[in-house]
Structure 1
Amino acid sequence: MEGWAKTGNQRGWWLDFQEAVTPDYADHIALESEATYIRSWQPVLIPGLLQTAEYAESVITSGPTFIPSATAARLVQVRQERQKRIQQGGVQFAAVIWEPAISSLASVPAIAVPQWRRLLEAGERHNVTVQMLPASASRAAGAAGPFVSFSFGDEPTAEAVAVENLPNTSVIEVPDDIALYVNVFDRLRSTALSPEETADRIRQLLTSAQHTTGETS
């Protein structure tokens, strides 16, 4: 795994952002850049690979650590660069997001509306699956904090898991531990709304926000 992270893409594009990207974040991006399958569980935030620039900026600048505006802008750029793999179809990406992470955006329509549209657009891609875990499924949502699993071959067998903690991201490579996260993700995905039901729910949020603000789609 360390070899993939060090040799992947020879010189990773993220090295151009060394002043903003921490070493553990760089490791995460290196794994992400080589993965053929990525699965993400997010109970609190929209996954970085699906964030709009405005949403990303709001998340980055509202964290527990002060980040200068110039650094925040560079981190937003990093998120946009990461998203190119999805846009180019180079990876299969599946995301399960707890409903409060999506619906709570309604309090800031200027951020919410573009972000909901981005989720709908992403879900229409052949290589992306977006599913919403209903707010009522709190027991399932509490099974694990946010994590991302990576597969690197033709088969979608997870070979590494990145677990997000407050100070950093830990990468797990022990097979038995990885299996626990795979089982959790499978349960989350089976409990979540289907991609079609998820899209319908997001469209309802969009319609409600547009009625409130007077905006038309």
Structure 2
Amino acid sequence: MASPTLQRRRLGKALKRARERSDRTQEEAAEKIDAASSKISRIELGQSGLKLVDLNALLDLYSVTGEAALHLRDLARAGRKRGRWSAYRNVIPNWFRDYLDLEEDASEIRWYQPEVVPGILQTEAYIRAVYTTATPRTVDDEIERFVRMRLDRQAVLERADATLHFILSEAALRRTVGNVRLMADQLQHVADVADRVNVELQVLPFDAQTYCPASFGFTILRFENDASTDVVYLEDYTDAVYLDEQQPVRAYNALWNRLSAAALGQVESQDLIRRITSEYGTQL
């Protein structure tokens, strides 16, 4: 079953289509449920839940009836449930919880990472080193919960119905986290994961000359193999942005394609990972 986050996004998109077909504005919809226009915007973006009484009012305004109305009510009920990641709420910021649900539901994930190894490719030792460095005053129990959460996320790698594409900058492979033994083990793990049939991994080397500079990481998530469902996830130190409008999504897909074209092929990427792993090994 899809997560509450994805159900809210589905409901939001369906309500937006219904509003536009009925030639109603967000302001009219907001007036109908006695709310601000920003509330309608958040609902349509899947960022806010919706009471059943308000949903019924909007369905009446948009002239949605019959099976279509029943389907939207089902989505609204599912969107109010708590997701599986609520158990980790004390170590997950609010702005990241929706991403975890989307990651778990995605049929395709494309992840560009310029500085560190992506979370779902990290070994337990790497996770600990990253977390304790970023938050040095955390208590042991919090560290353990964070490590468990990140390891639980890696279940997506086991899904036969999900395809995962990674582009890692060479910097992510060479930036030492912890110590050289930890890094040698981490890069060996990356190489092992890259051998999976549902994983494609490329490395963007330092001497790549032909790509559009991207010093920031981003993730593109697709659902049910439908390009129209693409969501771009952008994260900074204290917040995140979810983009699903056509223009920015198209721009990020184009950027991904340029990065992929400039990166090494999968075989050459594996060779580079092994060379860097050997370099770490000689320092032991």
Q: Per the alignment, in what secondary structure is the counterpart of residue 117 of structure 1? A: helix
Q: Distance in 1 between matches of 2:165 and 2:112?
A: 9
Moved more, 63-72 or 163-172: 63-72
- How far 1:141 moved relative to its partner? 6.7
| Cα deviation code 1:106-131 (max 9, x no counterpart) | 88212101111111111000111111
> In structure 1, what residue type is equivalent to 2:233?
A
Change (3 A) 1:80 1:64: closer
Change (3 A) 1:199 1:106: farther
Name which of 188, 202, 207 aligns with 2:273: 202
Structure 2, unpaired ranges of 5+ = 1-5, 11-45, 50-77
Name which of 154, 157, 181 aligns with 1:86: 157
**Is the Cα contact below 8 Å between 1:52 and 1:115 reproduced in 2?**
yes
| Cα deviation code 1:8-28 (max 9, x no counterpart) | 8x6532111111111111111
Larger gyration radius, structure 1 or structure 2: 2
Taking structure 1 as the reference length, what is the TM-score of the superposition? Answer: 0.87
Name which of 41, 66, 69 aligns with 2:112: 41
**Is the Cα contact below 8 Å between 1:50 and 1:122 reproduced in 2?**
yes
> In structure 2, what residue type is equivalent to 1:3?
R
Change (3 A) 1:107 1:20: closer
Moved more, 173-182 or 154-163: 154-163
> In structure 2, what residue type is equivalent to 1:129?
E
Name which of 180, 198, 202 aligns with 2:251: 180
Q: Distance in 2 between matches of 1:145 and 1:47?
A: 13
Paired-residue identity, %: 23
Name which of 168, 171, 177 aligns with 1:97: 168
Q: Distance in 2 between matches of 1:165 and 1:106?
A: 19
Q: Distance in 2 between matches of 1:85 and 1:45?
A: 19
**Is the Cα contact below 8 Å between 1:162 and 1:171 reproduced in 2?**
yes
Q: Distance in 2 between matches of 1:132 and 1:172?
A: 25
Structure 2 residue 147 is the aligned partner of structure 1 residue 76: yes
Structure 1, unpaired ranges of 5+ = none
**Is the Cα contact below 8 Å between 1:133 and 1:188 reproduced in 2?**
yes
**Is the Cα contact below 8 Å between 2:169 and 2:204 reproduced in 1?**
yes
Q: State the partner residue of 2:96.
A: 25
| Cα deviation code 1:144-190 (max 9, x no counterpart) | 51110100022456610110112122111111011111111111111
Q: Per the alignment, in what secondary structure is the counterpart of residue 255 of structure 2? A: helix
Q: Per the alignment, in what secondary structure is the counterpart of residue 71 of structure 1? A: helix
Moved more, 79-88 or 58-67: 58-67
**Is the Cα contact below 8 Å between 1:43 and 1:141 reproduced in 2?**
no
**Is the Cα contact below 8 Å between 1:106 and 1:209 reproduced in 2?**
no
Q: Distance in 2 between matches of 1:64 and 1:126?
A: 35
Q: State the partner residue of 1:116.
A: 187
Q: Distance in 2 between matches of 1:138 and 1:45?
A: 21
Q: Distance in 2 between matches of 1:171 and 1:31?
A: 11
- How far 1:69 moved relative to its partner? 3.3
Moved more, 137-146 or 119-128: 137-146
| Cα deviation code 1:47-71 (max 9, x no counterpart) | 1111111111111222268543322
Q: Which has the higher contact order (CA 8 A, sep 6+)?
A: 1
Change (3 A) 1:155 1:43: same
Q: State the partner residue of 1:153.
A: 224
Q: Per the alignment, in what secondary structure is the counterpart of residue 249 of structure 2? A: helix
- How far 1:104 moved relative to its partner? 2.3
Q: State the partner residue of 2:236.
A: 165
